[in-house]
Amino acid sequence: MTSGNRLNRRSHNPRLSSNWTEKLLSLKTIRYQYVRELDYPAEAIHSTMTDRMYMDFA
């Protein structure tokens, strides 16, 4: 079973789908911050990546 099939089986509730659809359609903006940190002390590797995303649907 692929992850897509699992998602389809879990989202069979029409009321839940309707609630999510209404919420997504009502959004004017979305923003988030992403932080990814890698730390491998044995190999002297430490890396941090930070990014921000902002979308305006107006």
Region 1-19: mean pLDDT is: 62
User: What pLDDT, on the 0 to 100 scale, is given for residue 12?
Assistant: 64
48 Ramachandran zone, left/alpha/beta (phi>0; psi -120 to 50): beta
Region 11-38: mean pLDDT is: 85
- Residue 1: pLDDT band (50, 70, 90) is very low
CA atoms within 13 A on the CB side of 5: 2
Region 23-27: mean pLDDT is: 88
Predicted TM-score of the model (pTM): 0.44
pLDDT at 16 over 80: no
Region 1-29: mean pLDDT is: 71
